Structure 1
């Protein structure tokens, strides 16, 4: 039986609902050999995951999901084997989180203009700490509590997602800058959930620019897209990765998908590791 890895999961360090140690436990229960912790613009959850993994025998791949904007929409670039204990790298991520905070302020203001009784303070009470790493799922939860929507999906469709009534996108780094940032830090740059962007021209631009890999096996990529991205990966010599994009639970349902449901083989992990080791040599 082939050993597998889930290369895209979130924890309470960003907009997941599980502690990092819980992600590790779920990975062990799913029979995974490796797990990547890829919180949005932070590496804060990695040390706890590493500690938990030592007892359970699961390899933790230190990762991050970097937020950027390309052609007017959010583009996420996954970084693997990043230097999660390096102060300079953490400083870059802190600045990205500050931009996320600005985006949240604009989103809340837009929702208020639409007549919704929501405040930044009420949203931010959902998360302890002062690092301002609040994401749109937290705002969606508040909208559910207010009775404005009944599900997270409805919140994104109507208000928070691309084309939603409150959607905003303040200036952020470009995907090219995100790729460069990850690679300069010695990490490996992989495009997250390309099927979400509905812009294959942009995906190809980023491949040519210098992506190391592309996330083929993701719950938001359909079968036709998976075939297309796999073909491009072979054509350009990129690593094919996969991950569940697990964010914990919203009510009874796992969000986006259950940890371990979308994976990559350990051969992909070894390819990522080899790139990182060569880059850091």
Structure 2
């Protein structure tokens, strides 16, 4: 079997803070030397399902997934083919497993109030996130080691330039990382861009913009 070099945490335009199109994500991934990606949009699998239709054409394997926001922080579900309905962290993990999927605790030391409880419950822990600090990633690695949980690596890309910031050789049977090829960090500018995108995609902003255009149109001489 061909070696699988994956970036397991990418967001498309189906997330509220990204503008990346699934097809172009796959092309950029191939250019970066990846053989596979996991598209894990916020609260939906739509981006990954759209990308799967193009994987044979482009030649990049797509793992369907989603990053679900719960009251205790985000949980990623990989290998899921139906939307996750619950928003309770324990029920989210149950739903993922009921679909035969794999549950992941992403960026444990960013916005997770009960890290240890979640870390014990999931299948994998993201030990390197290109948008986290080196210190946060080091703590995540120590956490995974303490609990003897397999680690996952992801760029958490929201912009095309971030795709491939992470590349890990994975075991397709267990999803354990066999070798880390690349573990980079995203520039602060990329994080700011996704925050701006989130603001611009908000319904309230779009309504305000539409109102402004309607006002201008009515008042043009």
Task: Confirm or deny a common fold (TM above 0.5).
Answer: yes
Compute the displacement of 1:176 (Å): 2.2
Hey, what does 1:260 align to over in structure 2?
A: 164
CA-CA distance at 1:3 after TM superposition? 5.0
Q: How far apart, in 1, do the equivalents of 2:117 and 2:112 lie?
A: 14
Counterparts of 1:67 and 1:54 in 2: how far apart (Å)? Answer: 31
Kindly state the Cα deviation for residue 198 of structure 1 after the two structures are TM-superposed. 6.5
Aligned partner of 1:165 in structure 2 is: none
Establish whether residue 182 from structure 1 lines up as the match of residue 113 from structure 2.
no
Bigger proportion of residues as strand = 2
In structure 1, what is the Cα distance between the partners aligned to 2:21 and 2:44? 14
Q: Secondary structure at the match of 2:130?
A: coil
| 1:142-221 matches, cutoff 5 A | 173-197=87-111, 199=113, 202-208=114-120, 210-221=121-132
TM-score (norm 2): 0.70
Deviation per residue, 1:52-110 (Å, 9 max, x gap): 2202221111111111012xxxx11010111x2xxxx43x44xx6xxxxxxxxxxxxxx
Aligned to 1:19: 21
Cα RMSD after superposing both structures = 2.3
Aligned to 2:9: 8
Matches within 5 A, 1:117-136: none
Q: Does the C-alpha gap of structure 1 residues 198 and 60 become closer, same or farther in structure 2, counting only changes over 3 Å?
A: closer
SS in 2 for 1:196: coil
Name the structure 2 match of 1:107. Answer: none
In 2, Cα distance between equivalents of 1:25 and 1:7: 16
Give runs of aligned pairs for residues 107-126 of structure 1, distance below 5 A: none
Unaligned runs of 5+ in 1: 97-172, 274-281
CA contact (8 A) 1:11 1:247 kept: yes
Describe the SS at the equivalent of 2:9. coil
Gaps of 5+ in 2: 177-221
For 2:79, the equivalent position in structure 1 comes to 81
Is 1:217–1:264's contact at 8 Å kept on the other side of the alignment? no
Change over 3 Å in CA distance of 1:198–1:43 after alignment to 2: closer
Aligned to 2:193: none
Size of the aligned set, in residue pairs, is 173
Where do 1:229-240 residues align within 5 Å?
Answer: 229-240=140-151
* In 1: Cα distance, 2:143 partner to 2:56 partner: 36
Highest RCO, 1 vs 2 (Cα 8 Å, sep ≥ 6): 1
- TM-score by structure 1 length? 0.56
User: In structure 2, do the counterparts of structure 1 residues 49 and 198 end up closer, same or farther at CA, with 3 Å as the change threshold?
Assistant: closer
- Who is 1:123 aligned against? none
CA distance in 1, matches of 2:14, 2:111: 25
